[in-house]
Amino acid sequence: MNGFDWSAARDALPLVLEGFEVTLLATVLGTLVAAVLGLAIAIAGRAPSRFVTVPVRVVMEFIRSTPLLVQLVGAAALFTFVEPLTIGIVVLGIHYSTYTSEVYRAGIDGVPKGQWEACRALSLSPRRTWQAVILPQAVRNVLPALGNYAISMFKETPFLAVITVQEMVFEARKYGADHFAYTEAFTLAGLVFLVASYPTSLLMRKLEKRLGH
DSSP 5: -
Residue 15 lies in a domain: no
Residue 79 lies in a domain: yes
Residue 11 lies in a domain: no
Question: How do residues 134-191 score in pLDDT, each as one tens digit?
Answer: 888 888 888 888 888 999 999 999 999 999 999 999 999 999 999 888 999 999 999 9
Give just the sign of the alpha carbon dihedral 145, 96, 151, 21: negative
Residue 179 lies in a domain: yes
Domain of 87, CATH number, reads: 1.10.3720.10
Q: Write down the pLDDT at residue 136.
A: 84
The tally of domains found in the chain comes to 1
Residue 178 lies in a domain: yes
Q: Write down the pLDDT at residue 30.
A: 96
Q: Write down the pLDDT at residue 26.
A: 97
pLDDT band at 212 (very low <50, low <70, confident <90, very high): low
pLDDT band at 210 (very low <50, low <70, confident <90, very high): confident
For residue 1, pLDDT over 70 is answered with no
Q: Please give the average per-residue pLDDT across 52-76, as a whole number.
A: 93
Residue 10 lies in a domain: no
Neighbours of 121 (CB within 10 A): 9
pLDDT band at 211 (very low <50, low <70, confident <90, very high): low
Residue 160 lies in a domain: yes
Residue 78 lies in a domain: yes
Domain hosting residue 94, numbered range: 20-210
Q: Write down the pLDDT at residue 92.
A: 97
Question: How do residues 73-129 score in pLDDT, each as one tens digit?
Answer: 999 999 999 999 999 999 999 999 999 999 999 888 888 888 888 888 888 888 888
pLDDT band at 193 (very low <50, low <70, confident <90, very high): very high
Q: Report yes or no: 145 and 68 within 8 Å, Cβ to Cβ.
A: no
Helix ranges, the chain (H) = 6-44, 50-65, 68-78, 84-109, 113-121, 126-129, 135-156, 168-179, 182-210
Q: Closest by alpha carbon to 77, among 15, 162, 200?
A: 162
